[in-house]
Amino acid sequence: MSADDQRAALEQLRKGAELQRAGQLGLAHSHYQRAIKLDPQNADAWHLLGVAVLQAGKPALAAKHLQMAVKIRPGFAQAHNDLGTALREGGKHAEAIAALAQALSVRPGYVDAMFNLGIAFEAAGQPAQADRCYRQVLAWRADHADAATNLGNLLRRHGRLNDALPFANLAQRLAPDRAQTNGNLALLLSDLGRQADAVRYARMAIAREPERALWWKALGVAQRLLHDVDNAISTLRRALELDRDDATTALELALALNEGGEAEESRQLFATTKPPPGFGERVRWLRALTLPAIYRDDVEIDASLEHFSAGLDELQRGLKLNSPAAIREAVHAATSVAPFHLHYQPRDNTELQSRFGDLVARVMTAAAPELALPCAWTPRAHDGRARVGIVASHLMQHTVSRYFTRLIEGLDRERFDVTIWHGGREDESTRRIAASVSRFEQTQADALTLAHAVRAAQLDILVYPEIGMDPKHQALAALRLAPIQCVSYGHPATSGIATIEYFFSGAEIEPANADAHYREKLVRLSGLGTQPLPPPAIGNGDWLDAYAQGTPLLLCLQNFIKLIPAYDATLARIAAETGARIGFFTRNPPLMRAFRARIEAAFAAHRLDPTKYLVFLPAQTHADYLAGIARTPLVLDTPWFSGGGTSLDTFRVGTPVLAWEGSMARGRQTAAMLRLMDLQELIAMNEDEYVAKASDLIRNAGRRDALRETILARQARLFEDATAVRAFADFIAAIGV
């Protein structure tokens, strides 16, 4: 070949490179081909042609050109690297890995090749090798944002959430202006239960990439899990507008709508959404078992129960566990769907909950038959101490931790070796509990991974404080992870699971016939069955005065899902007889709207102006909320599902609470507190008695003042009696010996 041809070939390469940089790939391609005709042994020409063809979306043809480049020049590291990328994009993973390995052999320390090798290993389904590659890239170049991003995402996909977090944080710090680094961090933080942080980073991703549906979905899911339902609904609608085919977004929207009281639209979405791959069984469960968060009337309650019962039958008949894929789908359903709203209905649903427990047990036994077998180890073989495990998700600032922190702290280390697996967010309450036990593991592991870890601990006793609050726990409880398995009343209803031996409750809470309400053996610890923590100091209650308007303002502190339809008329009767206003706190705006429409209709039916007699109060800080409660003349507790933490708050500041005692534990917590303070006069057994007592108290300020003094003098009985704590420890020490 002549020198002129060589010079002409180089000129063609120069022009082609300029056009390629300008994005004119077709013209660049032509120049590279001319260069090759002039100089067929020019490795650079073959390389640039291969890269241009790859950028044009033709990986197979690009690989041929790049193979020619490395054949001509075996030591051409960049061509080996680009060949690896072309082969990977063409689905030839083993060949891609070999090409990238050759690039690294030719040029040790080649960062781009090591990064691409990690991607190739991921594509080939070899995550451990990909992990090593990304870590090596970061060892060579600590500021490599893409390696940090990919490693964080890789670890997240494989359930190693805590391991993923440092790399997701690093990627965001290195590239704070990228939508991807902010959005990926938001997704991970949401998985870790840090929803407020997830919201912040999702918003940052949206600000940089507003048309990306994934970031809107990440924001909407985090908002839903924070119970910011109004915003979650609008956010998820936006995500669905951007990606109409994203079934997971449609399902998240259905969940948010249901939580917001939009039951009809929620059902329609569940019914019409085609499940994404791997979600079919979960969608089947959601369609069959999702219950309204708030009901219009008793007719709707009964219809929902019939739907739920028929749904259980349908799920049992149609449950497929005949392949690994079917089992995985079933486990996904069993660990993500829980009938939380079932027990907020004014019905005894013990039998329905037990049928649900049997359904979950079928799934989990098929998924991990070895974990359904009896435990083989010798009990109490640990220096004479009882080895106790606790699995929970709400050991943070929450009613669950208020009720059970002292029970856990009462398991002293001389008698008990305690391990906690916690799946919720962390705060000061979490850290207090963690300091009191032998081992505390903050984990977001999937149910089967966690089940194996718990079983490997060879516990004597396993305690679940809150089955029913986190779907993962019902799946774990359906397995045999310890010789003795127990549940407490963080969610005050039977677990319905045959592998749970004991249910811990309070003697004052349970009625005489309570054994029939549990599948487990009921253990009645003294009093409330615990020694709850008191609330913090009160703040400023001046904010309440603007809403009283010179008339008695009674407060109903409960979540709207506890307010059964029949109670609306009861409150209307009290308002009609006394002229008092009745106030509710705004917790869930869409649910509040549904409740408000219902109760305003009930007041109108009693010829009462809702704008005069009903007040919807803005949320306050806990301290100012307590101060506001201290100023109200009377708190009206709800029938069927009473207050727990709210009643503890109210008694702490001395305000009388009128209880309407129910027939099951969840409707008897406030009444139990009143009995412990010898204040039975504040307990009503039926509607007429409830209305009469409320009317008498509203008219009799002197009696209310006397009750307030008595409550303040006796409230220590609720917070300072450690009898139940000792009884719990003694029972744990004795069982299974």
Q: Which CATH class is domain 386-531+722-734?
A: alpha beta
DSSP-H helix ranges across 124-158 = 127-140, 145-157
Cα 202 versus chain centre, distance: 17
Report the distance separating Cα 472 and Cα 331, nearest Å: 10
- In this prediction, residue 588 carries a pLDDT of 81
In tens, the pLDDT along 437-493 reads 999 999 988 999 999 999 999 999 999 999 999 999 999 999 999 999 999 999 999
Residue 344 in tokens: 């907020």
The type of residue at 337 is: V
| Selection from 478, 233, 499 nearest residue 338 by Cα | 478
Residue-wise pLDDT for 384-427, tens only, equals 789 999 999 999 999 999 999 999 999 999 899 999 999 988 89
Q: Indicate the pLDDT class of residue 653, thresholds 50, 70 and 90.
A: very high
Largest CA distance in the chain: 114
CATH number of 542-719: 3.40.50.2000
Mean residue pLDDT across the chain? 92
Give the ranges where 478-584 is alpha helix by DSSP (H). Answer: 545-548, 565-578
Which long-range contacts link 275-280 to residues 24+ away (Cβ below 8 Å)? 275/247, 275/251, 276/247, 276/248, 278/328, 278/329, 278/332, 279/247, 279/248, 279/251, 279/329, 279/332, 280/329
Residue 79 reports pLDDT greater than 70: yes
In this predicted structure, which of 55-59, 80-84, 250-254, 536-540 has the lowest mean pLDDT? 55-59
Classify domain 3-217 at the CATH superfamily level.
Tetratricopeptide repeat domain (1.25.40.10)
Separation of alpha carbons 473 and 454, rounded Å: 12
Which one, of 395, 385, 401, lies nearest residue 458 by Cα? 385
Residue range 262-317, pLDDT digits in tens: 888 888 898 899 898 888 999 999 999 999 989 999 999 999 999 999 999 999 99
Return the half-sphere exposure (C-beta side, CA atoms, 13 A cut-off) of residue 509: 32
